[in-house]
Amino acid sequence: MSENLTGHLSPDDPGLSPITRAMLAVRSEVLQAWMDQVRNTVPQARELPRPILENTLPAYFDTLAALLTPGYTARVVNDLGAVASEHGGERARLTEYDATAVIHELQIFRDTLFSELARHDVVLEAGEQAILSAHIDTTIRESASAFTVVQAALREQFVASMAHDLRTPLSTAQMAAEMINHTSNDPSVRRFAEKIVASTQRIDGMTRELLDRIAFCKTGAVRLAIERVDMAALVREVAQSAEVAHPIELRIEQETIEGWWCRDAIRRALENLLNNAFKYGAAEEAVRLTVSTSSGRVQVMVHNQGDPIAPEDSESIFQLYRRAGSRGPGGGGGWGVGLPYVRRVAEAHGGSVLMSSSQEDGTVFVIDIPLDARPFNGAPTAA
């Protein structure tokens, strides 16, 4: 069922209910109608490239449809929350949206979903429509909340950067005032120079305190060297090197998947995900590595069986120096920088990382990024 996080659930899957399969059959029509409507009614969306506008909506649509298959509901509710949060986070980092625009576009999605299903004769029972409506309402709240949190983090980073940059002209002004104080014979000039020195020292102290408060444990932006890369070949190389340590089941949608990314950063991110899967996954089970594409984006999925990540740890594992406390024998080791790095790499490419974990389905991480990351090189990261 992890295919829902890449937007690749199949309408021909016999394990899905008829209504879920019927929804999946009109996925493209629903998403296209939604994008058309959003471009027409949300000003901030009019000039967005399709991969950024579409964002994680294919994964969200598939996860929403899976709610209507008995037995899957409990497994995908957490997935919906993860996708909703990533959607809001991407909007904060990569667009000129405000919280109102995030809410508006998801309200449009709800209306478009039901109208397009009706237009294609996909009939929902009252209970099914109520389920979808309730979860879309939850998505709107969670996306808006994530948008607000990420915007606050970006403002914090901006203030930290500005505070850091202020120190150079402050230092120059202070040294100039000290020179005037030491060389002038005019008491009035020296008195004014002393006031300038005192004021610049005070501002410098305030700046230092600000940096100490908001830049503690922060790292710089991920530096990307964007070049043309064959993702399929890169993933094969990584898998070939890693399978010495653990069995890997490799699935690649196409022989060649070319795009514009930073080869070294993507390689390291994939190695981190695989090492994480080896470390915490079931020793006897192969790790599944899958590459797929959709609408100008590529999805790289790493899946392992084993003890799930506790819901309360689903965000902390992406924070620097934090690790899920309940995973694996002894709780694991290391510095806790692997998954934060993965998120930073994905976000710096204009994308996201989706995560799903359950006892039944195991743990899945999906790097979802545009095929051409050049326009987003140096995009701000919240991690």
42, 105 contact by CB (below 8 A): yes
Query: Given this model, what pLDDT does residue 33 score?
Result: 97
Domain CATH number, residue 43: 1.10.490
Choosing from 102, 133, 154, the residue where a domain stops is 154
- The angle, 0 to 180 degrees and rounded to 10, between the axes of the packed helices 231-242 and 263-280 is 40
Looking at the fold, whether 145 and 239 belong to one and the same domain comes out as: no
For residue 189, being part of any structural domain is answered with: no
Domain CATH number, residue 361: 3.30.565.10
Looking at the fold, whether 148 and 59 belong to one and the same domain comes out as: yes
**Total-model pTM:** 0.67
Using CA atoms, how far residue 107 sits from 102, 141, 258, in Å, is 9, 11, 35
Q: How far apart are CA 210 and CA 203, in angstroms?
A: 10
For residue 287, being part of any structural domain is answered with: yes
Using CA atoms, how far residue 117 sits from 20, 76, 84, 121, 380, in Å, is 11, 21, 21, 6, 37
Pairing of strands 248-252, 287-294: parallel
Q: What is the DSSP secondary structure assignment for residue 220, as one 8-state letter?
A: -
Q: What is the DSSP secondary structure assignment for residue 303, as one 8-state letter?
A: E
For residue 332, being part of any structural domain is answered with: yes
Looking at the fold, whether 13 and 122 belong to one and the same domain comes out as: yes
For residue 372, being part of any structural domain is answered with: yes
For residue 215, being part of any structural domain is answered with: no
Q: How far apart are CA 116 and CA 26, in angstroms?
A: 8
141, 80 contact by CB (below 8 A): no
Choosing from 108, 133, 154, the residue where a domain stops is 154
Looking at the fold, whether 6 and 148 belong to one and the same domain comes out as: yes
Looking at the fold, whether 135 and 242 belong to one and the same domain comes out as: no
Half-sphere exposure of 212 (CA within 13 A, CB side): 6
DSSP H helical segments within the chain, as ranges? 18-25, 27-41, 50-54, 57-66, 73-94, 99-119, 126-183, 187-214, 231-242, 263-280, 338-348
55, 344 contact by CB (below 8 A): no
For residue 186, being part of any structural domain is answered with: no
Residue 354, phi then psi, degrees to nearest 5: -105, 145
SS3 247: coil
Q: Which residues contact 72 (CB under 8 A, 6 or more apart)?
A: 1, 66
- CA torsion 360-131-146-107 (nearest 10°) is 150
383 residues of the chain, pLDDT tens digit each: 567 778 788 999 999 999 999 999 999 999 999 999 999 999 999 999 999 999 889 999 999 999 999 887 667 888 888 898 899 999 998 899 999 999 999 999 999 999 999 999 999 999 999 999 999 999 999 999 989 888 877 766 666 666 667 777 877 888 888 888 888 888 888 888 888 887 777 677 666 655 545 544 444 556 789 999 999 999 999 998 888 788 999 999 899 999 999 998 999 899 889 988 998 899 889 999 999 998 899 999 999 999 888 877 777 677 654 455 544 433 444 335 578 889 989 999 999 999 999 888 899 999 999 999 999 886 767 65
Q: Which structural domain, as residue segments, surrounds residue 9?
A: 2-154
Query: Given this model, what pLDDT does residue 209 score?
Result: 56
For residue 247, being part of any structural domain is answered with: yes
Residue 307, phi then psi, degrees to nearest 5: -60, 135
Longest dimension (CA), the chain: 92
Structural domains in the chain (count): 2
Query: Given this model, what pLDDT does residue 331 score?
Result: 43
24, 89 contact by CB (below 8 A): no
382, 155 contact by CB (below 8 A): no
For residue 181, being part of any structural domain is answered with: no
Choosing from 102, 121, 154, the residue where a domain stops is 154
